[in-house]
């Protein structure tokens, strides 16, 4: 059976009824949308494939639970994931705040400072920032001389290009060492570094990146896991911006006034809305 058969014949196929061929065809399409890493294309319908498929159906506002003709058609024909269904809602913020027992305003402050409220570029790719000093670290300085724009022993602000221009830098690094490249970028609304994949609950950085592509909701879930694993929730809860900044952004946070930016952003979000 193929996706085209499901669409053409109007079939409804339960997950447990799918054979390896149809599963692999679905996985290939999910890979095309970066919802599943290349290694995930194995013909086995497991947890990771289901999570990727759920992200796909949610992005297109389609029901989940089985492969319907509408889902098959979308998998065959879609060129990109719609952005509007991958954005956070006020309800999402509220649920996350409950999970880490803090105010919504505190989480929104982190989002404002880290990504100015945007988890995705206009073209649907996650917002990233590629860190040349981390790429150098993960590749033992091998490319410091030959690829100085993406590999540097020391942090250098001048190497940043910003926005969509960060992707050519990431792609250049991927061509040299894929795993090191993905680890060396910060991702999404909360700009969490790829090398934190394990403390965020992922078996490797590939699946971490797939979650970054799925939705801002997934990016928020990853943030909650990171905050919990690093024991930063208390600092966020108590508005201890200096200690939160140190744990979240590293010991050099003062150089960028990171704690001050968080404090000011929190005040803006904590102020009650003015009703006219």
Q: pLDDT tens digits for 62-96?
A: 998 899 999 999 999 999 999 999 999 899 999 99
Q: Cα 242 to the chain's mean position, in Å?
A: 25
With CA atoms as reference, report the closest residue to 129 among 171, 105, 87, 163: 163
pLDDT at site 95: 95
CA angle, 113 then 119 then 124, to 5° = 150
Q: Give dist(CA 20, CA 34) in Å, integer.
A: 20
Quote the pLDDT of residue 97.
96
Looking up tokens 């609950």 gives 201
- This prediction has a pTM of 0.93
The pair of structure tokens assigned to 153 is 């022993």
How many beta carbons lie within 10 A of that of residue 155, not counting itself?
A: 14
For the chain, what is the mean pLDDT?
Answer: 95
Least Cα distance to 254 among 238, 266, 264, 241 occurs for: 241
pLDDT above 60: residue 275: no
* DSSP symbol at 126: B
CA separation (Å) from 41 to 50, 201, 264?
Answer: 12, 21, 45
């Amino acid at each position: 059976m193929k996706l085209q058969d499901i669409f053409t014949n109007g079939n409804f196929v339960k997950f447990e009824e799918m054979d390896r061929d149809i599963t692999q065809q679905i996985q290939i399409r999910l890979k095309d949308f970066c919802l599943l890493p290349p290694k995930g294309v194995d013909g086995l319908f497991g947890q990771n494939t289901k999570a990727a498929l759920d992200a796909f159906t949610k992005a297109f506002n389609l029901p989940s639970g089985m492969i319907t003709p509408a889902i098959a058609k979308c998998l065959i024909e879609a060129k990109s994931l719609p952005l509007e269904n991958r954005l956070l809602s006020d309800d999402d913020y509220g649920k996350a705040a409950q999970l880490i027992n803090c105010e919504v305003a505190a989480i929104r402050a982190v989002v404002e400072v880290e990504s100015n409220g945007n988890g995705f570029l206009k073209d649907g790719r996650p917002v990233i920032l590629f860190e040349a000093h981390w790429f150098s670290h993960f590749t033992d300085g091998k490319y410091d001389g030959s690829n100085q724009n993406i590999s540097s022993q020391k942090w250098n602000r001048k190497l940043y290009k910003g926005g969509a221009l960060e992707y050519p830098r990431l792609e250049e690094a991927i061509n040299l060492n894929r795993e090191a490249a993905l680890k060396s970028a910060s991702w999404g609304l909360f700009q969490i570094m790829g090398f934190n994949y394990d403390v965020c609950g992922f078996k490797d950085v590939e699946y971490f990146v797939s979650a970054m592509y799925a939705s801002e909701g997934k990016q928020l879930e990853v943030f909650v896991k990171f905050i919990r694993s690093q024991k930063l929730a208390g600092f966020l809860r108590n508005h201890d911006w200096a200690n939160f900044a140190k744990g979240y952004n590293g010991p050099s946070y003062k150089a960028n006034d990171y704690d001050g930016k968080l404090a000011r952003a929190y005040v803006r979000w904590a102020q009650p809305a003015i009703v006219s």
